[in-house]
Structure 1
Amino acid sequence: MTLPLADALKGRLIVSCQAPPGDPMRHTDTLVRMALAAQAGGAAAVRVNDPEVVAATVAAVALPVIGLWKDGDSGVFITPTVRHALALVDAGAAVVAADATARPRPDGSTFAELVAAVHEAGALVMADVSAFDEGREAAEQGADLVATTLAGHVPGSPAQSAPDLALVADLAAALPVPVIAEGRVSTPEQAARALDAGALSVVVGTAITAPTALTKAFVTGLAR
């Protein structure tokens, strides 16, 4: 990983500016404004889905953009192929986030091939993993950062209601590349604990940028 980006992210917040299909917030201009709000609040970088939104965010926001492309809703669908990854680089992403779990990719390619293509195109790769062995293998295959994004979301990865700080700590102690804590970080206190566990940086999404989900949580909590 290049030193300038590591320095920019160290001990700081990455905000995931996304919205699920069908959500009223899923509009390019709205998502760009989310990213601008994150920048105004002091975020170090933003994580953005879809090449169109990546390009618009890169044009508007003076922060590194971590791009991903969710294609589908099952199996490997976070930047599943080299084609998806290179489209994000073309859109201006400084870092491409991609599923690096042990599951087969839809086109039969390997994570290592995606990493090589992204590096050749001049960008970095964030490996989204669910388990320790996946993180170790992703680093061996050239990932520049390893994120715990998929912990609890893949068969065999224990579901949790809080960040998997044990996984963060294990990866941070073992890997030669920085570890990013992502997934179910709901409070500033949890984010701080993730840094204490060894994370370079912390990604927060729903707790900051998902008013629909947050409203539903309050509605559920008030139900009698």
Structure 2
Amino acid sequence: MIETLKSNLIISCQAPSDSPLHNPNIIAAIAKACVNQGAKGLRIDSPSHIKAVKKLLPDIPVIGLWKQMGLNSSVYITPRFEDAIAVSEAGADIIAIDATLRNRPNGENMAEIIANIKENLGKPVMADIDTLENAIEAQKAGADFIGTTLYGYTEATQDLIPPNFEFIDKLIKTIDKPIICEGGVKTPQEVRKALDLGCFSVVVGTAITGIDLLAKKFTDVTK
């Protein structure tokens, strides 16, 4: 199943928690619309949404995560092993975690979480990284995929704008794991460029499914 992701598009189907779209059945419907148009994989947040998507689309690979805010940590993408357990039990085929070396809510470290996921849950891990150094550490820890998800979104990279194709090229030449381009991809041309560089696959979210943010962008110019 996971091999079908190679050289293909993964669409992230998520919605802000205060959006009327933040409903498992609606997210599943959006996911099905994306698959109907050729998406080969999905990235889904939270156990309830993952369950709904897998029920509707059992044969489509799902990268699952659980965004946990308010835990007194800047790490929020599947920050604890207990969150990974819930994501796994919901049916995710790959578990995405924040793979930076920042402090986590309960003192676990990135390497421990990756090891526990692989040994106790038997699921591949997508390591969401922000820097080359953290990508190297995630590879050492046993991550199966390295994603550029957090480039531009952490304290260390907040002044950088994704996607950075020079950074992606450096990752591909340095890391001996499949690289998934994610973050800031806005056009079909950028998807093609990432694949031509050698990325395993590309994740697009807001540019396709971010209805709330896209609507706001257009309405803002009318004010």
Letter paired with 2:175: L
The answer to whether 1:98 aligns with 2:97 is yes
Corresponding position of 2:61: 64
Q: Spell out the pairing of 1:22-171 with structure 2 (5 A cutoff).
A: 22-61=18-57, 62-72=59-69, 75-120=74-119, 121-171=121-171
Corresponding position of 1:196: 196
Letter paired with 2:69: G
Per-residue deviation at 1:195?
A: 1.3
Q: Contact between 2:101 and 2:109, CA under 8 Å: does it hold in 1?
A: no
Separation of aligned partners in 2, 1:222 and 1:88: 41
Letter paired with 1:71: Q
4+ residue stretches of structure 1 with deviation over 2 A?
158-162, 220-223
Separation of aligned partners in 2, 1:156 and 1:113: 22
Q: Contact between 1:86 and 1:117, CA under 8 Å: does it hold in 2?
A: no
Letter paired with 1:63: I
Aligned residues: 219
Q: Secondary structure at the match of 1:180?
A: strand
Q: Which moved more, 1:10-19 or 1:66-75?
A: 66-75
Separation of aligned partners in 2, 1:161 and 1:142: 28
Separation of aligned partners in 2, 1:207 and 1:50: 21
Separation of aligned partners in 2, 1:162 and 1:152: 6
Per-residue deviation at 1:199?
A: 1.1
Letter paired with 1:149: T
Sequence identity, in percent?
39
TM-score (structure 1 length as normaliser): 0.93
Please list every run of 5 or more consecutive structure 1 residues that lacks an aligned counterpart in the other structure.
Answer: none
Q: Contact between 1:151 and 1:159, CA under 8 Å: does it hold in 2?
A: no
Give the superposed CA RMSD.
1.4
Q: Secondary structure at the match of 2:181?
A: strand
Please list every run of 5 or more consecutive structure 2 residues that lacks an aligned counterpart in the other structure.
Answer: none
Q: Contact between 2:162 and 2:185, CA under 8 Å: does it hold in 1?
A: yes
Per-residue deviation at 1:82?
A: 0.5
Corresponding position of 2:7: 11
Per-residue deviation at 1:137?
A: 0.7
Letter paired with 1:96: I
Corresponding position of 2:183: 183
TM-score (structure 2 length as normaliser): 0.94
Per-residue deviation at 1:220?
A: 2.6
Letter paired with 1:148: T
Query: Any idea what the Cα deviations from partners look like across 1:45-88, whole Å, max 9, x if unmatched?
Result: 10000011111111111300110000006500100011001111
